[in-house]
Amino acid sequence: MPMLSANGIELSYDTAGDAKSPPLLLIMGLGMQLVDWPDDLVSGLVEQGFYVIRFDNRDSGLSTKFEHAGTPNLALSYIKSLLRWPMRSAYTLDDMADDALGVLSALGVARAHVVGASMGGMIGQILAARNPNRVLSLTSIMSTSGRRGLPGPTREARAALLRRPQPARGVDSVVAHLIDTLRVIGSPAYPTPERLMRERIARSLNRNICPGGELRQLLAIVAARDRSALLRSVRAPTLVIHGAADPLVPPACGVDTARLVPGARLELIEGMGHDLPPQLIERLLALIEAHARGKMEPDSTARLFEKQ
């Protein structure tokens, strides 16, 4: 996997498609790697005529790790967040947005369509707001504005996110833990087959595992500022996609994001949770292409896609 230098660190990246085609940058979420983007989504974007760029966020995959920063105490950090006490993280979401910008610059890409999922959506929002001349369009999937007062995860989803795997018990234990987590936060109307989940998990574990990195990324999310004012400054055409059954980042968070970005379009998908299930790839591809090609009329009215 090729590496590049950006923002003072090393980032692993991958590209697919014709470099002369419109570039599209994919930004993954918490603890995820570039290989966690569904293959069908990546190949579908290439077939649609995009030059697809993926990279491992800092502290994940093959990119630079921040082990020197130690492992955060999540319980203490959660209490601090509830009390609104200041928190110090090893890095910020703004730093991660600078990483994404650095990827584009290192590859000689002047402007790109940006698609971010979950934490990747937060990073994409910051990237678009702070660098309007570099972002052709923004698609924020299952993400949030970070505004105080928005609903948080369900009790079950929060427990699944905070529960740690037990690597000492072997790979099978880690795989079982991850499958349980994916089932809790996944799409109830579009369950991903266990065989496919196991294949994806095995690919990620064989490539890299960094539990401390995931915790440091999570602390960066918890310590992040409210992005309400920042989102109001976004000028790139924006599409917000959110699952109506998301237990980790409730749909109100997507609604709020679309409400804050001028002219943003909101697509709520019935039965979708906090994942990218194979049954919805064609729908996601259609939405992303129509948005990037400027074939959607901007509005703030939720379009509810119901299971057929």
Q: Which amino acid is at 241?
A: I
* pLDDT at res. 300: 45
Instruction: Write the DSSP assignment of 96-162 as a string of letters.
Output: HHHHHHHHHHHTT-S-EEEEEETHHHHHHHHHHHH-TTTEEEEEEES-----TT-----HHHHHHHH
In the chain, the percentage of residues whose pLDDT exceeds 70 is: 89
Chain segment 16-75, per-residue pLDDT in tens: 999 999 999 999 999 999 999 999 999 999 999 999 999 999 999 999 999 998 876 665
Confidence (pLDDT) at 79: 52
Residue type, 199: E
Domains and CATH numbers, the chain: 3-305 (3.40.50.1820)
Quick one: average pLDDT of 181-187?
96
CB 2 within 8 A of CB 14: yes
Cα gap 200→62, rounded to integer Å: 16
Nearest to 200 by CA among 39, 46, 14: 39
pLDDT at 85 over 90: no
DSSP state, residue 298: -
Q: What is the pLDDT of residues 218-228, one digit of tens each?
A: 999 988 989 99
Average pLDDT in the chain: 91
The predicted-structure confidence for 103-149, as pLDDT tens digits, reads as follows 999 999 999 999 999 999 999 999 999 999 999 999 999 999 999 99
The mean pLDDT value for 265-281 works out to 97
Count CB-CB contacts under 10 A for residue 100.
Answer: 29
Q: Which pLDDT score, from 0 to 100, does residue 165 have?
A: 67
Residue 87 has pLDDT above 50, yes or no: yes
